[in-house]
Structure 1
């Protein structure tokens, strides 16, 4: 391996045209599950629903290549022709997510091996090791055959590499992967001495004499050296990216059709580092499914969409490749969506930058693992509420075509997230091993979301120019260069809000000496001499009346002022929240996991002090975002409550042509989209 995949120059190609005329609407289509007479009915119903693109071929390898080197294109030609004749574009997937049975039987060594040495069995998702040269050879052969046959077909508007890479094969601990890991370490570190220095292997006497002696963190991973574990996470992300790049290169050799793959960006840590991956896809695309027991699922949608927007260049459009019309299939209690929720969920993503809304899948399967997963065409057929809402959504997206290609309004708040910090937090013997990386990110996003203040969720290396406030929640790993950029931002007049456990590790995973919060001590004017994780039965009261759980700290002030203190507990009298004037800016430190009401009061203060723009002034039930078109702003108002809400705005509704002179009523659970200033 010549260099880390994450260090490659961007391979993204400039998009000359969006895959569809207007916003994209459709979903995964799996015609191999149905007879040809059903195909014709499907195409007819797709046109009725307003579908203009489908993802095809994701799980078709075993039917396209029923035996090694023998291809059956007839049925695929037929369905592609039917879709093309109906004016439906195709997002054509390489079928490498699902290796065929003959390949697994002939080469069981391609199956992933878990951390305990057990080899996965056929029947799961993405049942292959990203380091396997055998799998790579077969995957590139079917990719090349597909490209040679269909790259010039006018229906093929987008190439789709594999499916949710890392979603079933994020880590492999086989001997082939171990050898590739050692090659990766040679490129990353150069010498075994550099490895030992970075990882502090003298502890427990684990010093390596040769890189060839290093193994992946197998067995009880929480006992592994944290530097080793972090390096293996980085390697695993790079190996999957290398596979994506290999398939993408074959596809790009056969023409200019844009290439994508579907990310799985949500609010938690991910198995791969999407900030690296986004540099190599022509259309940044995402699959997003809400978690049933998430008490604010609607905010999780907004967070994921804001994070996707932060992965694109110049705030260019991205694509919601998959979400659900109702219940998924993989949670313990799979919840159906409420009336109107399909439209609300889809338009949340569209409001925040997606140029389309697609689903898994078109027609509900009657057999197979996901036979009870919801679909655009449900088991109940067209005489169902889901189908009526699917037709309604298709009409709404058609009416909203004026926003296609148009950016979301600029945000003044940036929230920095980092996969490596998430990996570090959940690995090894940390002070509190039950902390969730997403907790603080979701909290601070939520308080601004409830106040209609737009937040860009950005990678840690993103450009901070143009922002007034930068939030760094639980940003555990920070390099010197990253810390310097935040320091420069604040001294130049910006405001930073830094959460607990931020900056405590350097990029190799070593603790920064001199007291926490490590890289941000001088900027914040505060040090923590000791963490005080709270036990499951403990709470600590703060001076503002709030109660916190899970975490507290023994802080010392070195120039910062105390804003909120610990009112009881072992840290009584010490600062829980601080504020420090630095240069022309201000740096806040939050040393405890604040409850919502306490964080909200800080958000209100920051909104007032920094004059942060609100899209509208409305109740927390209203989500409000603007997209900017050449003919003026388009305002999305999404009501997540069970009551009608009134918002003081004027304009003409793009969904039903209603006019509002000074106030718009947003019915309970509904969406209003206004061309502002065009009432009457």
Structure 2
């Protein structure tokens, strides 16, 4: 981490000030309460639109007061939000450079839901386009003024350069972005004739004729446009990093997303791996009331952010601490589904984040906003700033996490998972374009379904970016329908070198530029899987009848999405479709590695139905791959994770998200050699335990956790 500041053992606090909340008269009292309750970190929104009130005229008064109060109460501060909110005068002065949608609609400033102040646009990119040099210069001037004013302030810990840093697939189509798109295309293709051939346009005679596509479909130009939009967004992010770092080489630079790399493409784009690569500390927003409080959902977000951070410190940057009332995500849901937050909810949500490796935790509010549709939301303290039973829980956890007794526990990091789920960003982009008109979410359902199927049987699955596959022996490929030739070659080489690949249907069916391969599987994967396509059906609306057997028991796994059957070409048939007896599953050896190919999508089937036979198929595939989970729990409603310290010490986190107490047995495998050690010190006392050999008998209270050190662990 690049920082000259000494951070707390575990940064713990909230977003406190979003102009104009909370009321100024309460600030000093609120800071005193926060300090007494063990809070050590704040994040404030230093909004361009609220500070540069006229060109070159800055109103710092409220922000100076926040920083001085933080210093007086021992609370460090992250400066956040910054240039997404623009001054109204700037929106008028640069009206020629507002974001433009594909249909030509120009954005206007609007009230920001999360602060109830003006100057915002749609999504996280604001209303003004940074591809306009004038806008970029004006935004840069404000950032320079901001950094130079506070970089040496004793309360400053760093900068959160983008709040929920995800890019909109809908903007920008203005003339400045189009000019930049043409430059991007020239770099990629070289000459105009190469672009004509790649795009199947054939008759461009001037680069000025090339414009951003108005349609959205699985065409080369649309693939290029979505990829450019992503590249351009993260280039803007890099610009912020470089500008701030040129002025301040002491304080940390952070950012946080929404753990959206698996499920957010339709509404907003996300690449958590790319975002995390640009900052010192990464993080994620996860609010159960908006997502649903099923445990697998939060675990998936923590695991995703940890994977994207690639060993860097990451924080749960916005964790729910209070209710949510009238937002569309909660209407019709029961209050127990995270809608009305109880102290026990906060406790188990935070223990999940800590068990998954998060080493900082901030609430979206310290106390709720008093204005706008998010009034009363998210804060552990009451509307008037007084203490609640939720704030008591927050204070207890804050003090526990920053007690030196927990230092070694929190220095430990989660061990690598039992298996990796392969993530290929170009596949998600193509699926977004392929299925947009049908409003299908097959990519998300497949990825989530695979993760949940592993999760529901106590198997720790890591999200593995295709650039990181060398670290894993076994990979599961839930939705492989599109793969470019570069990554196809890398994956084939990984298998040949000894990797074990379990793939679902239609692997690399579409290749470079989105073209379907004339021979299937495409890109030479017929040799990798030892099979060629016999038949294929792309009818996800008629997929509810897809089922296949996979052993002698007669169990039928449920498919989903598409259906591909095979003729073995060196591979061994493993299962047949119920409908016509066609080969549904093939195993094969390739080089030093092995492959298992299922012709449909049992992950989608599991996401939609939760079929026990799909879990049985996955269990058989894991046994075939030689996977032995680190732990086996007798009650699948409870989760457990190992973390390991640099000195080799192991810790086990046992988390019970259920409302009732659970008693269960945990059996350890020999993979981490915990059978040679004994559960010893209790770090978080949410239950009781007794060990017999390699079995640990535990009782964990409802919505609580038991955290143990494994004494005597071998190095």
Alpha-carbon distance between aligned partners in 1 of 2:453 and 2:256, rounded to the nearest angstrom: 29
Does structure 2 retain, via aligned residues, the 8 Å contact 1:431–1:533?
no
On the 8 A contact 1:110/1:135 being kept in 2, the answer is yes
Counterpart CA distance in 1 for 2:435 and 2:683 is 54
Contact preservation (8 Å) 2:566, 2:583: yes
1:5 alignment partner in structure 2 = none
| Contact 1:471–1:496 under 8 Å retained in 2 | yes
CA spacing shift, 1:346–1:356, aligned 2, 3 Å:
same
Residue 311 (structure 1) aligned to one of 302, 308, 312: 308
| Residue 661 of structure 1: aligned partner | 690
Work out whether 1:645 is the aligned partner of 2:662: yes
Aligned counterparts of 2:60 and 2:436: Cα–Cα separation in 1: 54
Using the TM superposition, give the Cα deviation of residue 495 of structure 1 relative to its aligned residue in structure 2, in angstroms: 1.3
- 2: CA distance, partners of 1:134 / 1:180: 15
Distance 1:210 1:265, change over 3 A: farther
Contact 2:687 2:698 in 1 (8 A): no
Shift of 1:170: 6.0
Match of 1:273 among 259, 271, 278: 271
Select the residue among 74, 89, 98 that pairs with 2:76.
Answer: 89
TM-score by length of 2: 0.85
Following superposition, the deviation at residue 427 of structure 1 comes to 0.9
Asked if the contact 2:78/2:156 (under 8 Å) is kept, the reply is: yes
Counterpart of 1:109 in structure 2 is 96
Match of 1:599 in 2: 614
1:579-611 C-alpha deviation (Å, 9 max, x unpaired):
222233321112222233233123322443414
- Structure 1 141/441 Cα, relative in aligned 2: closer, same or farther at 3 Å? same
8 Å Cα contact 1:260-1:281 kept in structure 2? yes
- Residues 1:564 and 2:568 aligned together: no
Equivalent residue of 1:620, what SS?
coil
Structure 2 unmatched ranges of 5 or more: 111-120, 332-338, 550-554, 607-611, 667-678, 692-696
1:583 pairs with one of 591, 608, 618? 591
8 A Cα contact 1:432 1:533, kept in partner: no
Q: Is the 8 A contact 2:280 2:312 kept in 1?
A: no
* Distance in 2 of aligned mates of 1:504 and 1:162: 36
Alignment equivalent of 1:539, drawn from 539, 545, 557 = 545
Which whole-Å CA distance do the structure 1 matches of 2:561 and 2:434 have between them?
18
TM-score, with normalisation over the residues of structure 1?
0.89
Q: How far does residue 483 in structure 1 lie from its aligned partner after superposition?
A: 2.1
Aligned partner of 1:353 among 352, 357, 380: 357
After TM superposition, the structure 1 = structure 2 runs for residues 412-561 of structure 1, keeping only pairs within 5 Å, are 412-428=418-434, 434-465=440-471, 467-518=472-523, 520-528=525-533, 529-536=535-542, 538-543=544-549, 544-561=555-572
Equivalent residues of 1:230, 1:424 under 8 A apart:
yes
Question: Partner residue of 1:229?
Answer: 222
**CA shift in 2, pair 1:677/1:452, >3 Å:** farther
Pairwise CA distance, 1:17: 6.5
Mean Cα displacement is larger for which, 669-678 or 585-594? 669-678
- CA-to-aligned-CA distance 1:304-357 (integer Å, 9 cap, x gap): 2212122223x2321221132244564342533455222222222221221112
Alignment of 1:130-279 (within 5 A): 130-166=130-166, 171-201=171-201, 207-218=203-214, 220-222=215-217, 226-256=219-249, 257-266=251-260, 267-270=262-265, 271-279=269-277
- Stretches of structure 1 lacking an aligned partner (at least 5 in a row): 1-13
For residues 348 and 583 of structure 2, what CA distance do their matches in structure 1 show?
Answer: 41
Aligned to 2:650: 633
Distance 1:74 1:418 in 2: 47
Greater CA drift, 327-336 or 419-428: 327-336
CA RMSD in angstroms comes to: 2.8
Distance 1:72 1:460, change over 3 A: same
Task: Return closer, same or farther for 1:192/1:168 CA change in 2, 3 Å cut-off.
Answer: closer
| Residues 1:517 and 1:652: Cα distance change in structure 2 (over 3 Å) | farther
Distance between the aligned counterparts of 2:342 and 2:141, measured in 1? 45
Structure 2 contact 687–701 (Cα < 8 Å) conserved: no
1:381 Cα deviation from its structure 2 partner: 5.3
Given that 2:367 and 2:380 are in contact with CA atoms closer than 8 Å, whether structure 1 keeps it comes out as: yes
C-alpha distance after superposition, 1:544-564 (max 9, x if no partner): 334434432233322222223
Describe the SS at the equivalent of 1:475.
Answer: coil
Q: Structure 1 residues 144 and 16 mapped into 2: Cα distance closer, same or farther (>3 Å)?
A: closer
TM-aligned CA distance change 1:340 to 1:532, over 3 Å: same
CA separation in 2, counterparts of 1:623 and 1:259?
33
| Counterpart pick for 1:623 among 627, 639, 647 | 639
Quick check: 1:46 aligned with 2:52? no
SS in 2 for 1:131: coil
Structure 2 residue aligned with 1:289, among 272, 287, 290?
287
Maintained 8 Å contact 1:128/1:169: no
Q: 1:592 to 1:53 in 2, by over 3 A?
A: same
What residue is the counterpart of 1:6 in the other structure?
none
Give the drift of 1:87: 1.0
Please say if residues 286 and 318 of structure 2, whose CA atoms lie closer than 8 Å, have aligned partners that are also in contact. Answer: yes
CA–CA distance in structure 2, aligned partners of residues 611 and 538 of structure 1: 30
1:300 matched residue in structure 2: 297
Structure 1 distance, partners of 2:245, 2:313, is 21
Q: What's the offset of the Cα at 1:567?
A: 0.7
Structure 2: distance between partners of 1:567 and 1:432: 27
SS at match of 1:281: coil
Cα displacement string for residues 13-64 of structure 1 (whole angstroms, at most 9, x for unaligned residues): x535786221121121215323332111221222233221111234x32332
Match of 2:15 in 1: 28
Per mean C-alpha deviation after superposition, the further-off stretch among 301-310 and 41-50 is 41-50
| More displaced stretch, 656-665 vs 42-51 | 656-665
Q: Per-residue deviation at 1:86?
A: 1.0
CA contact (8 A) 1:480 1:519 kept: no
Please give the alpha-carbon distance, in whole angstroms, between the structure 1 residues aligned to 2:435 and 2:199: 15
Q: CA deviation at 1:519?
A: 5.1
- Asked whether the equivalents of residues 477 and 505 of structure 1 are also in contact (C-alpha less than 8 Å), the reply is yes
Determine the C-alpha separation between the residues in 1 that align with 2:373 and 2:478: 37
Contact 1:616 1:647 in 2 (8 A): no
Query: What's the CA shift string for 1:76-100, capped at 9, x where partnerless?
Result: 2121011122111111125101112
Give 1:8's aligned residue.
none
Q: Determine if contact 2:129/2:172 at 8 Å carries over to the other structure.
A: yes
Say whether the 8 Å CA contact 1:49–1:391 is kept in structure 2.
Answer: yes
Deviation of the 1:185 alpha carbon: 0.8
Q: Which moved more, 1:238-247 or 1:104-113?
A: 104-113
SS of match in other structure, 1:420: helix
